[in-house]
Amino acid sequence: MEQLTAICLEDTENFLCVGYKDIGPDEFWTRGHFPGLPVMPGVIMCEAAAQLASYFSKRYQLMEGIIGFGGLEEVRFRGVVRPGDRFVIACKMLKVRRTILTCEFQCFVRGDLVCEGIIKGVTLPVEELSAEPGNAP
């Protein structure tokens, strides 16, 4: 979980999880996005939310197997995240099935909403992925 520094709340009764990422000056994206003005890419914000949702669903066995990215809906970026910021992510599980997870997320910096949306996770076909290339069933 490279995009998370810590998990600070796990509420199984409300299917809610909160974590954060302390954004350092040496993040892999700082040199190129954008040169001289490093801003966290939106796709990395979404990845952090996906990692948090995946952590929670695996920790509490809400889904079996390996969880992969299933999609994004209604994503909005409302602010920037820069080195030195603490990027806080809150995820609430909306729907959990055996093979699909739907999660609402919000991301904050200094209390300001910077990103929000809905992320979906799906169970990956481990048998097919672990087969030799060209030998999948």
Q: What span, in angstroms and rounded, lies between the C-alpha atoms of 77 and 91?
A: 16
Q: What span, in angstroms and rounded, lies between the C-alpha atoms of 128 and 86?
A: 38
Is 33 part of the annotated catalytic residue set?
A: yes
Residue of 1, 7, 16, 33 with catalytic role: 33
Question: Around 66, how many Cα atoms within 13 Å sit in the side-chain half-sphere?
Answer: 9
Q: How many CB atoms lie within 10 A of CB 107?
A: 28
Name the DSSP letter for residue 68.
Answer: E
Q: What span, in angstroms and rounded, lies between the C-alpha atoms of 7 and 51?
A: 11
Name the DSSP letter for residue 18.
Answer: E
- Residues recognised as catalytic: 33
